[in-house]
Amino acid sequence: MPQSIQRIIGLVAALGLLVSLCTFTVSENELAVRSQFREIVGTDYNAGLHFKWPIDTVRQFERRIVSQSFEGETFLTSENRGLIVDYFVKWRIKDAGRYSQAFGVDSGAAGQRLADIVKDGIKNAVAQRTLQEIVSAERTAFTGDMFDRASKSVESLGLELIDARVQKIGLPPDVESRVYASMQQSFSRLARQLRGEGEKEALRIRAEADRKRTEILSIAARDSLKIRGDADAKAAITYAAAYGRNPEFYAFYRSIQAYKNSLGKEGDVMVVSPDSEFFKYMRSPNAGTR
């Protein structure tokens, strides 16, 4: 091979080696940290090709969210009763520089450290509550404080806590039946108390409704009597006026009404003298003028 070609190949190889030593690439799913003699000199790198000095070291980390589940963790309530809790955490790297200083490239250590922080938070939250409070409350009610504290704690490690939730709460088999029986009795007492309060309130409402009903009927009866009294008074005035205009016609009309109400009913028996005043208009239409 001619010497000139060998030189060209050597030059290309040297150039390729120099390029590989002075450049690095970052993908969409990665974060990169460039350090020089263990001192971080760059962390803000977008996806693409970047340059570095040959003596620089580049570490690349996962940018995507990492999910971890933990099962069978035991916690004690304020009553010293054991709970078996399953939970999960979701996190990602927020500050690549801090993360690199804290864990290097060991993502497993980061996950374990975060899990320990969340576990301590759940432990404190459970220890402040009784078993009944934990079971009857929403799970987020006693994990909310834990999430806030854990989020602040992991910021110094360059991590961001996305989510931390309790998936399952169980009891050890030896105390499960006893605890459930105790809870059943407690809820039964509460149910009886609520029923008693409900019945008491129902009696009060019925008594109030009966009182209002009696009051309304009394007012209605009073108004009815008043209206009837006023109507009877007006009727009496009208009858008196009519009687004053034609007393004979009024007497005749009253007799006809008496005949209508007294005679012609099946089964009735009336014993009256024929010359009685009652029959004066039947004997003669002009009886009143005599």
- Reported confidence tier of residue 290, pLDDT bands at 50, 70, 90: very low
Other C-beta atoms closer than 10 Å to the C-beta of 150 total 24
* Same domain for 22 and 107: no
* Domain enclosing residue 10, as ranges: 3-61
Tell me: do 38 and 133 sit in the same domain: no
Q: Which of 4-13, 98-107, 151-160 comes out lowest in average pLDDT?
A: 4-13
The verdict on residue 110 lying in a domain is yes
d(CA 39, CA 45): 17
Answer yes or no: are the C-beta atoms of 88 and 70 closer than 8 Å. Answer: yes
Element (H, E) at 211: helix 173-245
Chain center to CA of 7:
79
Q: How many domains does the chain have?
A: 3
The answer to whether position 190 is within a domain reads: no
pLDDT at res. 200: 92
CA torsion 116-120-125-129 (nearest 10°) is 120
Distances in Å between the alpha carbon of 107 and those of 111, 165, 189?
Answer: 6, 21, 52
Domain boundary residue, one of 116, 139, 171: 171
In this structure, are 85 and 164 located in the same domain? yes
Q: Are 146 and 80 in contact (CB under 8 A)?
A: no
pTM of the model: 0.48
Tell me if 146 is assigned to some domain: yes
Q: In this predicted model, what pLDDT tens digit does every residue of 99-120 receive, in sequence order?
A: 887 777 666 788 788 888 888 8
Would you state the structure tokens that stand for residue 48, as one six-digit string?
């693409």
Per-residue pLDDT at 214 exceeds 90: yes
- Whole-angstrom Cα distance, residue 154 to residue 72? 24
pLDDT, one tens digit per residue, over 65-93 is 888 888 878 887 787 877 888 888 888 88
Is there a single domain that holds both residue 40 and residue 79?
Answer: no
Find the CATH number of the domain harbouring 159: 3.30.479.30
**Do 79 and 155 fall within a single domain?**
yes
* Contact of 118 with 167, CB cutoff 8 Å: no
